[in-house]
Amino acid sequence: MKPLMQPKTFFIHTIGCQMNVADSEQMAAALAPLGYSASPAFESADLVIVNTCSVRAKAEQKAFSILGRLADLKRSRPDVIVGVAGCVAQQEGNRILSRAPYVDIVVGTQALHRLPEHVRRVAVERCRIVDVEMGPGAPDFRPHRAPGPVCRFITIMRGCDNFCAYCVVPYVRGRETSRAQAQILHEVRDAVDSGAREVTLLGQNVNSYGQKEGHGTFPELLARVNSVPGLLRIRFTTSHPKDLTTELMECFVRLEKLCPHIHLPVQAGSNRILARMNRGYTREHYLDKVSKLRDTCPGIAITSDLIVGFPGESEADFEQTLELIQKVRFDGLFAFMYSDRPNAPARRFADKVPEALSRRRLHALLALQDEITFTRNSALVGSIQEVLVEESGRTKASGPPQWVGRTPANKIVHLQADPDAGGFGAGSLVQVLIEKAMAHSLRGVIKGKPAAGRPLKGGAQDAA
């Protein structure tokens, strides 16, 4: 596609999940051939895109709040192009133009590959475009990536077929479709060639990757990604407990680049609530999977998602959730109050939990998990952890340089270099002495750097 006559700048504000972060990266890469480069702030950009999330009411409200701020920008600079992408765009469509008439482009989750042509048309014709067409699956959308972060997100599948009672995803991202392994591997190699050392494979339920299309299993895909030269670490999210197989569990031992961390959303600790949520497993089934994971890969970090205040949740149901947290002792949790979402079946449930009660339960749950997380972090004080340095952190004027990285178990580490550690930077694997545990992270000092390209676990070096 030919560039516009003059260089332009864009600013993308991303709300929500890692899938949205990946989509924003794709949009940024797709705009480059038009002559667009990134702007540090929306006030100075020629194109502003709000990439939205509608999984919870609060995220949707945040999107419209940001759009409200853009009204003043549009009044002062009428030539600025304002776009809305993501799940709210897909959900609301033309209603966004009624609510925010200064928006120029509304592009849904399956239309991102058409964003460049929409931007070009609006720039020339000054028209308004709404494109929320959904089909059996959008074309593969993989623009070439410029040099970027050490850690990248790679989308391996889109949509969801599970239809959990609280969830809007099947309605705004469509039914589950998986990308071909060749396309995914090409994108992983592109990411590594442009500086990535870690990739996170994304899908609503990566455990069911490839089953509908015959693309092979998720463990098979992981094995092929593990062989990409120059890649140091692999992560993935999200796993659905009902589809977690023994074969996938064994990958944590068999594949040296696969990090020993799994995000395994449980959502509730009560069988009655799990059934109402249409989750497809019981409390006992979930605990059995956790036990098998820890037997297979001792020391694996397990994080999860929980919803409090789901319609009909009693005090006894909530106590069972707290008991499950105590039993599993997660490394971390993302917990939220239930909120009605358009099209989701639970919106029609009559027995809603009062917001004040949901809020009290959320605070109690988070307090319990904070205590567990701090205890688990404290157990690492005095140990040596291998950390992938991701970016520079805040540095005091009088002190040594500060950096931020993560352990294989996905623990965030704020670190500084020992004078004898030698040179390092983003993308380095370094040995770190953990000196302090904090509520949600660790602090340490770099004590050494392993050889570049050394695998995460014991085993063969990168395959050619």
C-alpha to C-alpha distance for 304 and 61, rounded to whole angstroms: 24
> Which contiguous run of DSSP H or E holds residue 405?
strand 402-406
Same domain membership, residue 439 and residue 404: yes
Out of 25-29, 135-139, 285-289, 355-359, least confident range: 135-139
Same domain membership, residue 123 and residue 15: yes
- Residue 21 structure tokens: 């972060």
Q: Is 340 exposed, middle or buried (0-12, 13-18, 19+ CB in 10 A)?
A: middle
C-alpha to C-alpha distance for 419 and 144, rounded to whole angstroms: 39
Same domain membership, residue 255 and residue 268: no
The CATH number of residue 315's host domain is: 3.30.750.200
C-alpha to C-alpha distance for 209 and 230, rounded to whole angstroms: 24
- Residue 400, pLDDT score: 65
- Residue 145, pLDDT score: 58
Of the three residues 103, 131, 159, the one that is the final residue of a domain is: 131
Average pLDDT rounded to a whole number, residues 245-264: 98
- Residue 40, pLDDT score: 93
Range of the domain at 236: 149-259
Same domain membership, residue 375 and residue 388: no
How would DSSP label each residue in 337-378? E----TT-GGGG-S-PPPHHHHHHHHHHHHHHHHHHHHHHHH
Same domain membership, residue 373 and residue 330: yes
Out of 115-124, 244-253, 322-331, 439-448, least confident range: 439-448
Domains held by the chain: number = 4
Of the three residues 200, 226, 259, the one that is the final residue of a domain is: 259
Adjacent-strand bridge partners of 153: 200
Same domain membership, residue 125 and residue 16: yes
Average pLDDT rounded to a whole number, residues 49-65: 92
The CATH number of residue 123's host domain is: 3.40.50.12160
Of the three residues 212, 239, 259, the one that is the final residue of a domain is: 259
Instruction: Output 82 or 422, whichever has higher pLDDT.
Output: 82
- Residue 424, pLDDT score: 74
Beta strands in 209-337 (DSSP E): 233-237, 261-263, 301-308, 332-337
Listed residue (124, 58, 75, 70) closest to 96, CA to CA: 70
The CATH number of residue 393's host domain is: 2.40.50.140
Angle, CA 47 vertex, CA 45 and CA 48 arms, to 5°: 85
Query: Helices 283-296 and 315-328, interaxial angle, to 10°?
Result: 10
The CATH number of residue 168's host domain is: 3.30.750.210
Q: For residues 235, 19, 339 and 13, what is the CA-based torsion angle, rounded to 10 degrees?
A: 130
Residue 335 maps to a domain:
yes
Residue 453 maps to a domain:
no
Residue 330 maps to a domain:
yes
Residue 219 maps to a domain:
yes
Cis peptide before 238 (omega within 30 of 0): yes
Contact 148, 131 (CB under 8 A): no
Over the Cα atoms of the chain, what is R_g? 23
CA 443 to chain centroid: 24
Same domain membership, residue 245 and residue 266: no
C-alpha to C-alpha distance for 198 and 230, rounded to whole angstroms: 9
Residue 143 maps to a domain:
no
Residue 1 maps to a domain:
no
In one-letter notation, the amino acid at residue 170 is P
In one-letter notation, the amino acid at residue 83 is G
Residue 213 maps to a domain:
yes
Same domain membership, residue 340 and residue 297: yes
Total residue length of the chain: 464
- Residue 462, pLDDT score: 29
Same domain membership, residue 303 and residue 242: no
Listed residue (61, 65, 51, 54) closest to 21, CA to CA: 51
Same domain membership, residue 85 and residue 26: yes
Contact 63, 88 (CB under 8 A): yes
C-alpha to C-alpha distance for 285 and 159, rounded to whole angstroms: 25
- Residue 458, pLDDT score: 36
Out of 107-116, 230-239, 451-460, least confident range: 451-460
- Residue 422, pLDDT score: 61
The pLDDT of residue 314 is above 50: yes
C-alpha to C-alpha distance for 241 and 423, rounded to whole angstroms: 42
SS3 content of the chain, % helix, strand, coil (to 5): 35, 20, 40
Distances (CA, A) of 352 to 273, 314, 341, 346: 13, 11, 13, 9
Out of 226-230, 260-264, 304-308, 455-459, least confident range: 455-459
Average pLDDT rounded to a whole number, residues 211-224: 96
pLDDT in tens, 315-333: 999 999 999 999 999 999 9
Same domain membership, residue 267 and residue 252: no
Residue 75 is given by DSSP the state H
Same domain membership, residue 124 and residue 231: no
CB count within 10 Å of CB 372 equals 17
Residue 463 maps to a domain:
no
Listed residue (187, 156, 161) closest to 173, CA to CA: 161
Contact 384, 412 (CB under 8 A): no
